[in-house]
Each structure stands twice: as C-alpha cells, then as structure tokens.
Amino acid sequence: CKPVGRRRHPACRAAGDEPQQGTSLQQQQQPQQQEVPPLLSRDDDGNYEVDRSAIENFLRPPPEELPEDIEMPIWDHLEELRERVLVALLAAGVAIGGCFAFSKELVLFLEAPVADAGVRFLQLSPGEFFFTTFKVAGYSGLLLAAPTVLYEVIAYVVPGLTKAERKFLAPVVFGSSILFYIGLLFSYEILTPAALNFFVSYAEGAVESLWSIDQYFEFVLVLMLSTGLSFQVPIIQIMLGQLGIVNSTQMFSLWRYVVVGSTVAAAVLTPSTDPFTQALLAIPLVGLYMGGASVVKFIEQSKAKTQTA
C-alpha cells in the first residue's frame, strides 16, 4: 500500500501495516531484545541463573552443596535428639555433683581476688552459704560439662550442614571455646580484682568491708560469664563474613559505632556501675572487634588469591 498524499488507503490502515504514531519504521524493524527478569542473570554461556542472596543460600542451600548422606525420617531425628539431650544432661549432672563435693575449695578459689584486701565475708541469713555453694557448683559444673554439651550439639547439627559450612565449623567451634575460656581467665585475673580493689580502696577509711557471701559470688560469677560471652565477638564476625552478609570494609567503617556500642555493652554486662570496670571490659571488646575484622579481611584476601590462581 502506497500513501496517497499524506494519507493512506483505509484498507491499508485496516490491515494494520501502518506505522504507530510516534515511532519510526526503522525502530519497528529493529528486533526487540529479550528482557531478563529481575531475579535472573546471565552467566558466561548466556544461560539464565537465579540470583540468590547470602541469607537465602544459608537457609536454602543449592543441591550441589549438600552432602550425599542418607536421609532420615523425622522420628529418627527426634530419637537422636532425645539421646543427645540425655547425654548432655548426664554430663552436666555428673560435673555439677563433682564440683559440689569440692565446693568449699571452689569458694576459697573465688575469694582469692580480694583475699589480701582485708575483706570479710558474712552469712547474713540461715543457709545462705549452703545455697551459695550450690550456685558455685552449678556454674562450675556447667563450665566443665560445656565441651561435652557442645560436642553433642555439633554432632546433631553436622549432618544438615553443607560442605562449605563443614569446613569452617571446626575452626569456629575451637576458636569460640578458646576465646570463652580466655575471657574467663581475663575476668578472674584482671577485671574482677581491679573492680573489687576499686570498691575496697574507695571505702577505705570510711566503712569496713563486710560483704555478703551470696552477693559477692553473684557479682563475680555474672562478671566472669558475661566477659566470656563478650569475647565471642570475633567468632560472630567471622561467621557473618563467611556467609557473605558483611565484609571487612563494612566492619572497619563502623568503628565509631563499635566504640559506643562496646561502652554500652560493658555497662550492661558488668554488674557494677563504676566507669573503671566498664572501661576494662569496653577496651578489650573494641580490640576484639578490630581483630575479628582483620581476620575477615585476611580470609577475603586468601579467597581472592585462590580464585585468581
């Protein structure tokens, strides 16, 4: 159909071969490129692949990452869980019972940080020391049974992990245990004596230091456990880095917020309200965070060298 003047024959317009208004004939002749859906991307071979986030890969790993183990029905999983819980409870009970048999020796061991400061401990109510020994034996027994409990938890979880997760599970568990006990040692040798001696020296010349045995052990045990848990910061950073949620550059860029957060965390975790004790815990927390970020950066550089090689 050829146009007559500036108009086309009505039959041509009815046939639909008239160019649309606002578009040229050259644009209509160009083949339209196939649009890629937002959740898909092309690989090097031109095939489509699904874009998966790090969280989605963790919750729903791809089939090739799953180990080729035998599948178990739900009842077998529950039976295995029951057996491992019983073993963990048995180990904790035996450890607590053994610690209760040496409860007086443990009490003297925990009194050592202020043994030379002239502090006297009192039993302010009937049975206070008896129940305090139960508390000390319970905390000490749980610490002794922690490796067994941790092993049972890992043995139950490992079959459901991917191959990549199994590789860094052992270093993470080993590092977490070491850091926890280092935190306990740091609290017993440095943090607890410094805090208690501060209180004694502050009250010297004004009041005599006569402390309740129950309140003293509540202070010491809470301080030691909170310090051990706070030393897990590098482990959390390494796990986040391995999952691809946060990288080392982002961790280093947040150092100002880490300083403020460490101060707040030290104020919450320490049972005392003096700034000296809080500073003794906040400073190691900042150092642990920067050390964890450095480890994540080292892992990223090692992966980059492996991929380029």
Q: What is the pLDDT of residue 56?
A: 60
Place of tokens 């019972």: 97
Answer whether 96's CB lies under 8 Å from 141's CB.
yes
Place of tokens 């202070």: 219
Q: Kindly state the helix (H) or strand (E) to which residue 120 belongs, with its residue range.
A: strand 120-122
Helices (H), the chain: 10-15, 25-29, 54-59, 74-101, 103-111, 128-157, 163-186, 192-203, 213-230, 233-242, 248-253, 255-269, 275-308
Radius of gyration over alpha carbons of the chain, in Å? 32
How does pLDDT run along the chain (309 residues), one tens digit per residue?
545 444 454 545 444 444 555 455 454 455 554 444 444 455 555 554 544 555 565 556 565 555 665 666 788 878 888 999 999 999 999 999 999 999 889 888 888 888 777 788 888 888 888 888 998 999 889 888 888 888 888 888 877 777 767 777 778 888 888 998 999 899 888 888 888 888 888 777 788 778 888 888 888 888 888 888 888 899 888 888 887 788 889 999 988 999 998 888 888 877 666 777 788 888 888 999 999 999 999 988 888 888 786
| pLDDT at residue 97 in the model | 93
* SS3 label, residue 39: coil
Q: What is the pLDDT of residue 53?
A: 56
Provide the pLDDT for residue 62: 60
Phi and psi (nearest 5°) for 283?
-65, -50
Residue 1 is predicted with a pLDDT of 53
Residues 6+ apart with CB under 8 A from 163: 65, 66, 67
pLDDT (0 to 100) of residue 198 = 80
Estimate to the nearest angstrom the gap between the alpha carbon of 240 and the chain centroid: 8
CB 305 within 8 A of CB 250: no
Closest by CA to 181, choosing from 150, 152, 157, is 150
The predicted pLDDT at position 52 comes to 53
Q: Measured over all CA atoms, what is the biggest interatomic distance in the chain, rounded to whole angstroms?
A: 115
